[in-house]
Amino acid sequence: MGLDVVTMGETMVQLNAVQMGPLRYVTTFEKHAAGAESNFAIGVVRMGLTAGWISRVGNDDFGRYVVSEIRGEGVDVSEVRIDDEAPTGIYFIQRGYPFPGKSTVVYYRKFSAASKLEPTDVNAKYIANSRLMHVTGITPALSGTCKKTIIHAVDVAKKAGVQVSFDTNLRLRLWKSLDQARATFDLIYEKCDILITDPYSCKALYNIKSPQEIAKFMSKKGPSIVAVKLGEAGSMAFVGGRAVKKPSYDVHVVDPIGAGDAFDAGFISSILKGWSIEKALQVGNICGALATTVKGDVEGIPTLDLVTSILSKEEIVLR
């Protein structure tokens, strides 16, 4: 039996500042394993479905750590390759500076093992046996071969009749130019069934910001579901000309990094479970909110039991 979802991308060691403020004054860091796609896969497993993650890590202790964490969360890592020639990427999180309440990331990932992903890393049968292939805008920005690999994986999924979901996840620092990002995303939009995006990405890419404008623009590109993550304002989905909006959950935010991946996991798992679009947005919002309550991208993502119990209460106070 195949997996419910398969995803592919880089996971790095995240060194998350214990103290708030500029990195130069931080003296202690917590170590976590984090990457948009593996975060998503872990969230899907917490929702009671099965997930596989395709990647490369270095033949180093950080690589062994990353794989063992993700495997430990119940994600299938049988398609992860160990690269003897390049290291596992790392990045730092600076908290509460320069913007109070926000985190910023500092990457050390150039020429990492995952940036060497190639189309030969894609096992077509592995994808064809799954129900959904999830990709994000981060991986194709890492290198020319990564871009080819993601396009190839999406093609494989499409040809096999496997649903494709895509989160634009625009990382301006990783792209050479916005034109390059736009041209790459266009190749993915036309093959994707579920598109997840946000006003920040759409403003930078297309100079549009309102959810309605985004839905109108994106729907023409092919996906049958367009979801827009609105942060504190919740999320919206557009399906067959219908717009649905659900509010966010009020939580004490410790570290917002990873909230978007948790939303994707909750939203897409709900769709795969056949739940309504309203419920899918609510579940996505719960997952996204809880992910921000602790450091690390995945530690706060709730299990299905917790999501169900939150949904069953009329008044939800998560603070």
8's enclosing H/E stretch is: strand 5-8
211 counts as binding ligand KDG under rule CB under 6 A: no
Site string for ligand KDG, 130-149 (x = CB under 6 A): --------x-----------
Distance spanning both ends of the chain, measured CA to CA: 40
- Measured from the CB atom, is 39 or 239 closer to ligand KDG? 39
Minimum distance, C-beta of residue 52 to ligand KDG, in the bound complex (Å): 17
Place of tokens 């500029």: 22
State the DSSP code for 76.
B
Subset of residues 100 to 119 that bind ligand KDG, contact rule: CB under 6 A? 105
- Measured from the CB atom, is 35 or 52 closer to ligand KDG? 35
| Phi-psi group of 267: left, alpha or beta (phi > 0 → left; psi -120 to 50 → alpha; rest → beta) | alpha
Residue 261 annotated among the catalytic residues of the structure: yes
Minimum distance, C-beta of residue 8 to ligand KDG, in the bound complex (Å): 12
Residue range at the interface with ligand KDG (CB under 6 A); choices 16-24, 32-40, 57-65, 182-190: 32-40
What's the angle, vertex CA 112, arms to CA 16 and CA 301, rounded to 5? 40
Residue range at the interface with ligand KDG (CB under 6 A); choices 31-39, 64-72, 182-190, 271-279: 31-39
Helices (H), ranges, 207-313: 211-219, 259-272, 277-291, 304-312
Phi then psi for residue 32, to 5 deg, are -140, 160
Which residue from 17, 181, 257, 286 is in contact with ligand KDG, where contact means CB under 6 A? 257
From the candidates 261, 264, 297, 305, which is the catalytic residue?
A: 261
Residue whose beta carbon is closest to ligand KDG: 34
Which residue from 171, 203, 221, 245 is in contact with ligand KDG, where contact means CB under 6 A? 171
What are the DSSP calls for 175-197, one per residue? -S-HHHHHHHHHHHHTT-SEEEE
Nearest to 143 by CA among 180, 122, 170, 116: 116
Minimum distance, C-beta of residue 258 to ligand KDG, in the bound complex (Å): 5
Minimum distance, C-beta of residue 138 to ligand KDG, in the bound complex (Å): 4
What helix, strand, coil percent values describe the chain, rounded to 5?
Answer: 40, 20, 40
Minimum distance, C-beta of residue 143 to ligand KDG, in the bound complex (Å): 13
Q: Which tokens belong to 107?
A: 């990457």
Residue numbers at the binding site for ligand KDG (CB under 6 A): 14, 34-36, 105, 138, 171, 257-258, 260-261, 297
The residues annotated with a catalytic role in the active site are 261
